[in-house]
Amino acid sequence: MRRSVAAGAAVLLLALAGCGDGEEVGEKPDLPDETPALWNPCDVLDDRFVEKTFGTVAEEDNGEPTLPECRFAPDEGTGQPVVTANYSLFSGTLDEAWDKMGQPEKADVREPKIPGAESSKVVVAVVKKQLYVDGFVQNGELIQQVAVVAPAPYDEDRIVAGVEKTLTRLATHAAESGLEGTD
């Protein structure tokens, strides 16, 4: 399961870098001249927050030093959601990145108001009785993602609210820490 979540994060990073869904690869977007020091979403997320927000009991896995990813994957068979957070720099808007990503036709796309963020999107989909909720939030050139996979039975309202709460925490941290990736 961790590999599939990590693979999803890699797909997002490729999409944000200019790859479309099955289309020819476009020009690579302009990235800022100065990149902020790498940080990890685990700087603001921890196992207590994830357990309280999603009901997931798992140890924090903060990935590799060069991969800004934070994962909380419970033991197999527990029926608890897997939670992953990561980010990428993109010189355009979230809407421009969104157009390059492509989304399933049956996905429920929402645009919640996230304090401290310029824009946000949350995608809710059920595939093979599993709930997939992906949230995106933009602060300047910084686009952060939260992905949650919850096996049945799941509480969709709780998971969506949890993703929005997590996006708020990440957006607030980015704004307060100057991590927007802009001058």
Q: The whole model's pTM is what?
A: 0.77
**Angle of CA points 100, 12, 154, to nearest 5°:** 115
Contact between residue 50 and residue 44 where contact means Cβ atoms under 8 Å apart = no
The dihedral built from the CA positions of residue 77, 127, 129 and 125, taken in this order, carries a sign that is: positive
Count of CB atoms within 10 A of residue 167's CB? Answer: 25
Count of CB atoms within 10 A of residue 150's CB? Answer: 24
pLDDT tens, position by position, 77-94: 899 999 999 998 888 889
Q: Rounded to whole angstroms, how far apart are CA atoms 16 and 89?
A: 8
Q: Would you say residue 165 has pLDDT above 70?
A: yes
Which CATH code for domain 2-177?
3.40.1000
For the chain, give every domain's residue range: 2-177
For the chain, give the percent of residues with pLDDT over 90.
55
Mean pLDDT of 24-39: 49
pLDDT tens, position by position, 51-68: 999 999 999 998 887 777
Question: Whole-number mean pLDDT of the chain?
Answer: 80
